[in-house]
Amino acid sequence: KIKKNMPEKNLHIQKDASQTANMSKYEQGFQKYDLQLNDDAVKAAVEKLLEEKSAQYNTPEVLRYLLSTIELTTLTCNDSDESVLAMVEKYNKVAENHPDLPPFSALVTYPRFVDIVSKSLEVEGTKAACVVGGFPSSQTFIEIKTTETALSIKDGAEECDMVLSVGPFLQGDYETCVDEIEEIKAVCGKVPLKVILETGELKTAANIKRASILSMYAGADLIKTSTGKTPVSATPEAAYVMCQAIKEYYNETGRMVGFKASGGVSTPKDAVLYYTIVREVLGEEWIKAGLFRIGTSSLASRLLTAVTGEEFEKF
């Protein structure tokens, strides 16, 4: 009789409240964001955006700016003290010969090479950075992840890149993902932490957006597409969804989080496409704040050639 006499509107309210009460705090948090994403619709929106806008950003001024977004990276199994030092010295020489060009944002290596980079890097404005936390799979103990981070910072790391634990995330174990990011960020302190989502393994736009939101709330200073170690790395679609998440998070919290494209960004044209997405979705303030990065090993020399007209060998 109670249910029969209860207004239909109140039944809906009671049902919604019950459903919310049974949700995890993470699922409740997700309700603040638009997660009703269709992958085909995202793809169509990105194609339309790039078709309409990318040409206007393919300019000498933008190409020159893109130099400042470069995180020159070497993350191979045959890296050595000698090869890393050679890369740093080559970069120092390029910067010395072209003082009018903006410096790269960072040089990124495995942790064991941070000491070499921090001691040999001579370019003001370029930071020594490294991957931490069991890169690239993140499949190790949290104690190892935090210790590796602490040792890297002790050796001079000015920025750290960690990988989201994709396995737990896909199982819905959001608490593990958040706890790990929070613990590593606590070790970083004021050192910026970039969280790599490995978007190619997340598969769907909705998963990419959830991972973005989790990472930002857990303390990520930048969110990054990929490690470059999986079959599918950075894509414009993933970048578009991540930038939408960053914008919605900013509107909700007032905190600006950066975006980094990494994995397969190898030509100036590729770089312009990602610039277009960041510029159009997030706006000029993200560009001015230096909150757009590109991690790459091959783009740097090609972009230098495009800007200067000179031929540059790969670093």
**Residue 34 bears catalytic tag:** no
User: Measured between alpha carbons, how far is 223 from 163 in angstroms, rounded to an integer?
Assistant: 10
CA distance linking residue 295 with residue 278, whole number of Å: 15
In this structure, what token pair is assigned to residue 271?
A: 């770089």
Q: Which residue in the list 127, 194, 209, 224 is annotated as catalytic?
A: 224
**Catalytic member of 115, 161, 221, 270:** 161
In the prediction, which pLDDT does 15 show? 45
- What is the reported pLDDT for 143? 98
> Rounded distance, CA 14 to CA 11, Å?
5
- Rounded Cα–Cα distance for residues 110 and 155 (Å): 12
Per-residue pLDDT of the chain (315 residues; tens, 9 = 90+): 334 444 554 444 444 544 555 568 888 889 999 999 999 999 999 999 999 999 999 999 999 999 999 999 999 999 999 999 999 999 999 999 999 999 999 999 999 999 999 999 999 999 999 999 999 999 999 999 999 999 999 999 999 999 999 999 999 999 999 999 999 999 999 999 999 999 999 999 999 999 999 999 999 999 999 999 999 999 999 999 999 999 999 999 999 999 999 999 999 999 999 999 999 999 999 999 999 999 999 999 999 999 999 999 999
Q: How would DSSP label each residue in 187-218?
A: HHTTS-EEEE--HHHH-SHHHHHHHHHHHHHH
Respond yes or no: is residue 260 known to be catalytic. yes
Query: pTM score, two decimals?
Result: 0.92
Cα dihedral 33, 36, 39, 44, rounded to 10, equals: -80
User: Which of the 8 DSSP states describes residue 104?
Assistant: P
At 24 the pLDDT is: 83
Is 9 a residue of the active site?
A: no
Of 185, 209, 260, 270, the active-site residue reads: 260
Question: Using an 8 Å Cβ cutoff, are 295 and 258 in contact?
Answer: no
Q: What are phi and psi of 249, to 5 degrees?
A: -65, -40
